[in-house]
Chain A
Amino acid sequence: MLNVSPRQRPYETLPGLTPLGIPAVAPLPAGESDDTQRLVERFGDAILAAGMHHGQQVVYVKPEQLVALAEFAKSDPKLQYEAIVDVSSVDRSELPADGARFHAVYQLRSYARKQHLMVVCPADEGGDPEVPSLAGVYKGAIWPEREVWDLMGVRFAGHPDHRRIMMPESWPNHPLQKQVPVGGEEVPFTLTWSDPEFESFGKQVMAAESLPPVVPPGMSRENMIINMGPHHPSTHGVLRLVVELDGETVVNVDPDLGYLHSGFEKTGENKRYKDFVYYTDRMDYLSAMSNNLGYCVTVEKLLGIDIPERAERLRVIMAELQRVASHLFWLSTHALDVSGTGMALLMYATRERERILDLFEMACGARLTVGYMRIGGVSRDIPPAFLGHLEEFLRAMPIRISEYESMLTHGPLWEERLRGIGKLTRDEVINMGLTGPMLRGSGVDWDLRRDAPYSGYEKYDFKVPVFTEGDSYARYLVRMEEMRQSLRIIRQAIDNLPDGPYRVEDRKVTPPPRAELDVSMEALIHHFKLMTEGFQVPPGMYYHGIESSKGELGFFVYSDGSAKPYRLHVRGPSFNNLYAVSKMSKGAMLSDIVTNIGSIDIVLGEVDR
């Protein structure tokens, strides 16, 4: 296989950088809540531990009772955990802790009761590690479980479609297991013409052999099977869909992911907490600010630090600007795919998007991969001219949105291509674990900014647009209204922007200002320690979801007390949302697949991670 080298990079082997004596952790809950109490009463001995951990409800359950617990949690009127939002896993082999090597971690969500429950299930040892599959209870578990199998090697007994999802079928290992090296290449620090490395450097020609095509399970050769992507203009990146057609009617769709799999999670586990912020930009590159925000908030929760008011407001301004920018990009490409006015709209929407990118550039110097936020605040204060430009943008934007709507909303072509296409009912979206505009287009009144506020969103007054039709047109309306609401939030954030620090003063996470380094030895030491070692995060685990432009962007961090995350998992909203494409497209026309993909609003960097 390509590219798998057992060598570690040199800085990781320098003495003193990986603190030994990591405490033996299995983040154990303490205390209890009504929900955990109810589960303990019902399942008794099958519950290994239950209670609150970092303010989140956690239940450890034996694998035998996992499915029963999920069924109970879903159907019990006092619990109503209707949806599964994420499945991840931890390989605990490097922890000096006893018990099962693998833990599967599930995040359940109750929309009705606004509750979140984390369920941890140790995998059965002996042969392949195995836990029972929850696919029978929640459809939304199907893809995340496949991902866990692919990357971590935990089997799911009774899974309806037990295949790899990201890596090619022939991949020799499960990359997230701790004994598998990061891979990559060792780059010589200095290179001269006489070095032997130079012989091959940059000149290797690697095998790029395709695998023979396989017909996905459930498809019949009787019909026509075509391949859409990974090089296709309207799959918004490198998504491959294998489509079974009867005439022009879609019988079956099988998405093939992983063409942009970049190993974010594995990389994250080998970077210090502070260094991973820049990687989050590159995941959902259309909403880099939201990704920054989600990651920083999660780590801050584990660290237990509160950030200054000004930083919080600045973060909200940036995240909402990013939402508008992302929706603008979605709108222009979606229109380009399905409607005749597309090219014009692409040009108009890009014009406004460029203005937002200019604002980002003023604040942090980059347009796309911003890296603006830091754990504990933002990297720098906004320049004085920023607010003036922002005001100007806020004045212009509502008129622009109306302009776009006048081009599209009642256009016969637009309505024809969107109305009634990709219909999903309320129960379906919940069961499939979809989030964001997919939920709100199908009548679920849920927005994490309002219902599980973070970063001070409870202080803002905004509406959450909800439509009940469940078709692509409803999702279009949701996103258009979201842009307007984002502008409202930004308005309020500017009006209440206080003066003060833009980053916590805690020297453990924030380097001292440059001027201090010249006069204070202590500052110098802090700076040195922070730059060489990073900061340590107390042991524990935390899942935090934020409302990014595409849906719930979740980060799951499992810390062993060192300066690097022991396990870092990202719940990409596009990944879970994309699962719906098969359901939406079955029985529709081939051309509707394009509408459906556009209407889900995917970014492949986040789908594949």
Chain B
Amino acid sequence: MGLEEKLPEGIITTQLETLVNWSRENSTWPLLFGLACCAIEMIATGSSRHDISRYGSELFRASPRQADLMIVSGRVSNKMAPVIKRLYDQMSEPKWVIAMGICASAGGPFNNYAIVQGVDKIIPVDVYVPGCPPRPEGLLYAMDKLRAKQGKDNFRTYANLNASPAPATPEDIESLETLRQPQRA
């Protein structure tokens, strides 16, 4: 309190953690990546009427290296599962996952040989959005939930991350052992 009164106008003080979280909350870049029907609603969320750029998330990045958020928008087939896994591994920390729709959350209507019953079997999920497909409003609400979660992050979470270093070679990424390692402390 005391310090702020003495500072010239236009300068505020805050904690570094809060500042970092604040900026992460307001510019979470999703991975440009669509799977099935839900992807169409994701695109609708990104375009004119629903306008995801109000959340600072309009930049859908095609490269996983530049993305913070993976929106798993649709059903995950057995053939696609390794690809999703690898994309997730290629994203740099901190990273978040939204399972959009019932297929990504739990397999949905496709309880059969072809579909993985929930993407949480291959990557950790932060927010689940119910719906088939969720409306754009639903996805925006999920973004809100995610922001709340991002706001509570602290640096200590990431300090321990080196316990599971990023796998180096494709062979490492794909082996069962790396999948079993805890992704986050």
Contact = CB atoms under 8 A, between A and B. Distances in A.
A279 B179 CA distance: 32
A347 interface: yes
A266 interface: yes
A367 B135 contact: yes
A238 B35 contact: yes
A4 B113 contact: yes
Interface stretch (A202-210, A386-394, A491-499, A518-526): A202-210
Interface in A344-370: 346-348, 350-351, 353-354, 357, 367-369
Main secondary structure of the interface of A (DSSP, over half): loop
B109 interface: yes
Interface string B150-172: 00000000000000000000100
Contacts of B110: 184, 262-263, 267
A228 B18 CA distance: 40
Interface in B26-75: 32-37, 39-41, 43-44, 47-49, 62, 74-75
A596 B101 CA distance: 31
B114 to A, nearest CB: 4
Contacts of A278: 109
B44 A350 contact: yes
Contacts of A168: 78-79
Contacts of A348: 48
Interface stretch (B6-14, B118-126, B139-147): B118-126
A182 B111 contact: yes
Nearest to B122: A208
A25 to B, nearest CB: 26
A399 interface: no
B131 to A, nearest CB: 10
A308 interface: no
Contact of A347 (B47, B80, B174): B47
A604 B48 CA distance: 24
B122 A261 contact: no
B42 to A, nearest CB: 11
Interface in B86-127: 86-87, 106-107, 109-118, 120-122
Interface residues of B, number: 52
B130 interface: no
Interface string A249-266: 000000000111111001
Chain A residues touching B, range: 35 or more
Contact of B35 (A237, A347, A357): A237
Interface string A281-306: 11001100000000000000000000
Contacts of B33: 231
A14 interface: no
B125 to A, nearest CB: 10
A502 to B, nearest CB: 25
A285 B113 contact: no
A206 B36 contact: no
Nearest to A354: B49
A261 B109 CA distance: 14
Nearest to A604: B36
Given A205-B179, A209-B176, A231 B113 contact: no
Given A2-B78, A210-B82, A367-B135, A261 B36 contact: no
A76 interface: no
Contacts of A263: 110, 112-115
Interface in A147-171: 166-168
A261 B48 contact: no
A547 B84 CA distance: 34
Contacts of B39: 237
A187 B110 CA distance: 12
Contacts of A45: none
Interface of B: 32-37, 39-41, 43-44, 47-49, 62, 74-75, 77-87, 106-107, 109-118, 120-122, 132-133, 135, 170, 174-176, 179-180
Interface of A: 1-4, 9, 166-168, 175, 180-185, 187, 202, 204-210, 230-233, 237-238, 258-263, 266-267, 278-279, 281-282, 285-286, 329, 346-348, 350-351, 353-354, 357, 367-369, 604-605, 608
Return the 5 tightest CB-CB contacts between A and B, nearest first: A183-B113, A184-B111, A285-B37, A263-B114, A350-B47
24 contacts: A3-B115, A183-B113, A184-B117, A185-B111, A206-B81, A206-B179, A209-B176, A210-B82, A210-B170, A233-B32, A238-B34, A238-B80, A260-B75, A262-B36, A262-B77, A263-B115, A329-B40, A348-B48, A350-B49, A353-B44, A354-B48, A357-B44, A367-B41, A368-B41
